[in-house]
Structures are given as C-alpha cells and as structure tokens.
Amino acid sequence: MPVIIKLKEILSIINNIDVTTAMREGFIAYSNGNSVVPAVGELLFDNPPGDVHIKYGFIKKKDYYVVKIASGFYKNTQLGIASGQGLMLVFKQQTGELEAVLLDEGYLTNRRTVAAGILVVEHFSNNKTPTIGIIGTGTISKMQIQQLKQAQLGNTYWIWGRNRTKAEELKTALGNDFDIRLAASCKELAQNCNTIITTTPSESPLLQGDDIKKGTLIVAIGSDTQCKQELSSNIIRKADLVIVDSIPQSKSRGEVYQAVKAGAITENQVVELGKALQETQDLKNNTEQITIVDLTGVAVQDIMIASEVFKIINKEKSC
C-alpha cells in the first residue's frame, strides 16, 4: 500500500536532506542526457489569476519516477490561503507501483526552487559574501532569505515589493537576526546589490538594463510561464553569460523566451545550468561579468527532492 505523507512529517525531516546538493545532481543528470523529462503540462486561469504546472519524469538508473502537480493562485492570500498548493506522487521506476503520496501543499516546490537559487549563488556570484536583493515579498522570498543566511551567503539583504506594507511585514517576520533594508524601487535595490533574486509572477519587466551594475548576478525564478516576465530584454542583451535550467523549456517560457522573442539574443547564446555547473571556472571570466540565470523549474528538481523525502521517511517507518 502506498503511504500518505503530510506536510508536518515532511517538515520534520527536510533538514536531514542536503537539498542544494540534490538539485546539483538533478541538473547535471538532466543536461548530461541521463533523465527523461517530457514537456510541462500547464493550466492557466484568468479569473481568479492562477497557473497549474504538471511536471514529471525520471532519472535513469534511479529507483523512482515522480509526478508533481503544483499551483499558484495569486489572490489566495486575500482569502487567508497560501497562493502555492500541490502534491507529489512517487512511483517505483521498475514496476510502476505507487509508493507514496506527498501532500506537501506546495512546500517542496518552494524548497527545491529556493535550493536552486542557493546553488546558483554559490557557483556564479562574483562575491564570497554578496549583498543580495530580493524582488518580491511572498513565501519564496522569505524562504530564500532564510536559506541564504543558513548557507552563509550574504550579510545584508535588500527587499523590494509592489506593496510597501508587505515588504515591511516580511522584514518584521524575518526578525532582528537579519540585516534587512527596504528599497523604494527596483533600481535602488539593484544599485546596492551585486546579487539579485527575482521571485514574482510579474507579467511586465521590473528591472531595466540601466538599473544593473557591472559584476551583478541575477537569478530569475518567477517567470515560469509564457506570459510572465521580470527582466527587461535589454538586461539579457547586456549580460556576458546567460544560463537557463532547461534549453527546451526556455523556448516557450521564462526570461530567455521573452528576450529571444524581442530579438535581444538568439537561442544559441545560452548555456544550460547542468553544463554550466560542470564548467563554472571556465565560464566566470572576470568580476565585472554580468550573469543572468533563468530558472523556470525542471522536473528533475521534483524527482530529486521527492525521492529523498520518501527514502528517509520510508527508512524511518521500516525501523
């Protein structure tokens, strides 16, 4: 019988998993052709605004295949409900038997997204202790700052959000252990930070080319559908290095998709993250290099985190 694993149980063991290392393994397997990941299944809603992603696949010679359903309904907060929802299904790769239903309520999607951000900052920031800007004030923004601090990445964090009150609430929620500055604009944030992480569902650019200093790393994680865009295409044109988590996905969604559509760059000017992680020193040419990493979210991330969660919980139940 498959086990049903609820969020409380997932939270009790998640810190026993090195999620960042798991993401690295997943991205490398993907770029090296050692995974099977079909195109994203997607539902887009207008009233109320929201999107649902169905991501699935397997990594060759691993134990499981995974199907993930995750959604973002952006007016949920007005109802006192988290905007992110979802679950993951873990199946035996050899027999197709359902092993586990992870009722994670979207948490694992957030956690693996944040871990990918950590991985990118570790490998591609030009500074050992970067000043980090976070554009957005939601759950992922909070989690990203918490995990950055835990990973000893950054001492000072700048936050900008469309709603100043929500930015102030996020600062308060993080507490006095964090050095948080609130930016009046995205431009002010960019001028004070050498690493920027964007986390919003914006459908129009929040950062412009003239906002960005030399030597800046931008990790764009909000634009995961065809209509979302957080970065002006001029930023992509200005960049010395452009990395995507998935070249196939970048042809239909994300910042690179928007930039190619606008004629700012061509598809052959990007590097896939799994390859870039294996060639980091060759790709980092100088401290003034502008690097853009466009993360649209790849099923290998879900496969890795769901498999690791199930392995630990299954082991504990067997003891």
Q: At 84, which CATH number?
A: 3.30.1780.10
The whole-angstrom separation of Cα 53 and Cα 283 is: 32
Q: Is the pLDDT of residue 200 over 90?
A: yes
Structural domain includes residue 308: yes
Structural domain includes residue 37: yes
| Mean pLDDT rounded to a whole number for the chain | 94
Structural domain includes residue 256: yes
Could you tell me if 19 and 87 lie in one domain?
A: yes
Structural domain includes residue 82: yes
User: What type of residue sits at position 13?
Assistant: I
The whole-angstrom separation of Cα 152 and Cα 141 is: 17
Could you tell me if 229 and 277 lie in one domain?
A: yes
User: What type of residue sits at position 124?
Assistant: F
Predicted confidence at residue 280, as pLDDT, reads 78
- Select the more confidently predicted residue: 212 or 82: 212
Could you tell me if 201 and 271 lie in one domain?
A: yes
Phi-psi region of 274 (alpha: psi -120 to 50; beta: other; left: phi over 0): alpha
Nearest to 166 by CA among 199, 212, 193, 195: 199
pLDDT tens for each residue of 111-122 = 999 999 999 999
Q: What average pLDDT does the segment 66-78 reach?
A: 92
Structural domain includes residue 193: yes
Q: Is the pLDDT of residue 12 over 90?
A: yes
- List, edge to edge, every strand of the sheet that includes 291-294: 179-182, 156-160, 132-135, 195-198, 217-220, 291-294, 241-244, 270-272
The fraction of the chain above a pLDDT of 70, given in percent, is 100
Could you tell me if 236 and 249 lie in one domain?
A: yes
Cα distances (angstroms) measured from residue 39 to each of 56, 156, 166, 200, 243: 9, 38, 35, 23, 19
- Select the more confidently predicted residue: 293 or 129: 293
Please answer whether residues 241 and 112 qualify as being in contact, where contact means their C-beta atoms are separated by less than 8 angstroms.
Answer: no
Q: What are phi and psi of 117, to 5 degrees?
A: -60, -45
Q: What is the DSSP letter of 279?
A: S
Q: Which CATH number is 253's domain given?
A: 3.40.50.720
Could you tell me if 14 and 51 lie in one domain?
A: yes
Could you tell me if 161 and 273 lie in one domain?
A: yes
pLDDT tens for each residue of 266-314 = 989 999 999 999 987 778 778 899 999 999 999 999 999 999 999 999 8
Could you tell me if 230 and 314 lie in one domain?
A: no
E-strand stretches of 60-137: 64-73, 84-92, 98-103, 132-135
Structural domain includes residue 114: no
Could you tell me if 287 and 145 lie in one domain?
A: yes
Predicted confidence at residue 131, as pLDDT, reads 94
pLDDT tens for each residue of 15-50 = 999 999 999 999 999 999 999 999 999 999 999 999
Nearest to 141 by CA among 183, 191, 200, 86: 200
Nearest 10 degrees: Cα torsion 124, 279, 39, 76? -10
Written as six digits, the tokens of 301 are: 């991330």
Q: What are phi and psi of 28, to 5 degrees?
A: -70, -40
pLDDT tens for each residue of 148-167 = 999 999 999 999 999 999 99
The whole-angstrom separation of Cα 124 and Cα 310 is: 31
Q: Is the pLDDT of residue 62 over 70?
A: yes
Could you tell me if 290 and 304 lie in one domain?
A: no
Structural domain includes residue 159: yes
pLDDT tens for each residue of 235-265 = 999 999 999 999 999 999 999 999 999 999 9
Predicted confidence at residue 319, as pLDDT, reads 67
| Range of the structural domain that residue 27 is part of | 3-108+299-318
Q: Is-above-0.85 flag for pTM?
A: yes
User: What type of residue sits at position 97?
Assistant: E
Could you tell me if 308 and 162 lie in one domain?
A: no
Could you tell me if 242 and 260 lie in one domain?
A: yes
- C-beta neighbour count of 81 within 10 angstroms: 11
The whole-angstrom separation of Cα 273 and Cα 247 is: 9
Written as six digits, the tokens of 115 are: 């871990």
Nearest to 113 by CA among 169, 55, 159, 155: 55
Sequence length of the chain is 319
Structural domain includes residue 116: no
Q: What are phi and psi of 8, to 5 degrees?
A: -60, -40
Could you tell me if 132 and 272 lie in one domain?
A: yes
Nearest to 251 by CA among 231, 236, 270: 270
Predicted confidence at residue 314, as pLDDT, reads 84
Predicted confidence at residue 1, as pLDDT, reads 83
Q: Is the pLDDT of residue 317 over 80?
A: no
Count of structural domains, the chain: 2
